[in-house]
Chain A
Amino acid sequence: QKEVEQNSGPLSVPEGAIASLNCTYSDRGSQSFFWYRQYSGKSPELIMSIYSNGDKEDGRFTAQLNKASQYVSLLIRDSQPSDSATYLCASRSGGYNKLIFGAGTRLAVHP
């Protein structure tokens, strides 16, 4: 059973819209959560980290964490075609710095 679940997509949104990406996790002991962006053929790039319940905003990105529901989300405001990529959700699990990744959601922003 997967420990971090994401909808594979593709999620298609028009330019300028809000893209909403969702992720659930099964390990209640997870303490830290991360969103990575991965362009085709490239390595994952860290875009957001969140550790506490609630919202965390950074520019056009907002990460939301609800530990009671074991749910993490990423909102991208004013989506641009350059945001088209696969978005990976990850949780830190265990006593060491091991990341558990979901399979990723492919986002397509069309002009």
Chain B
Amino acid sequence: ETGVTQSPTHLIKTRGQQVTLRCSSQSGHNTVSWYQQALGQGPQFIFQYYREEENGRGNFPPRFSGLQFPNYSSELNVNALELDDSALYLCASSFQTLPDEQYFGPGTRLTVT
């Protein structure tokens, strides 16, 4: 157990809808990163939050957005869901300075129909 929690565990949405996923970071960690993992692939970086600001973004469209709160927890919001958004969404927490090891939560399985 890493101490990183995510909710919900599973989610089924319809194309065009909006979804919010939540993550609580491990105690002492101030950085949260979000990843998308499609079936059979490695996780792909969506974005990272540090001190409540976006601190880097991967190759994802603007309909993927996020927030970080003063307690370092975070949300991932996806608007206008597409079928290809079906994936495991992973949150990882870390401390910004070395060692820069990232610890993953259990993930949220999103299915878009």
Contact = CB atoms under 8 A, between A and B. Distances in A.
B102 A99 contact: yes
A98 B40 contact: no
Nearest to A42: B106
Nearest to B50: A96
B42 A103 contact: yes
Interface in B37-54: 40-45, 48, 50
Contacts of B104: 36, 43-46
* Contact-size category for A: 20 to 34
Interface of B: 2, 31, 33, 35, 40-45, 48, 50, 55-56, 58, 88, 90, 92, 94, 96, 99-107
A92 B45 contact: no
5 contacts: A34-B102, A45-B104, A46-B101, A92-B100, A94-B56
Interface in A60-111: 88, 90, 92, 94-104
A46 B96 CA distance: 17
Nearest to A106: B40
A49 B100 CA distance: 9
Contact of A100 (B45, B90, B92, B106): B45
A97 B48 contact: yes
Secondary structure dominating the interface of A = strand
A98 B42 contact: no
Contacts of A98: 33, 45, 48, 56, 58
A32 interface: yes
A94 to B, nearest CB: 7
Interface centre among B56, B101, B103 (most CB of A within 10 A): B101
Contacts of A49: 99, 101
B34 to A, nearest CB: 11
B90 A96 contact: no
Contacts of B50: 96
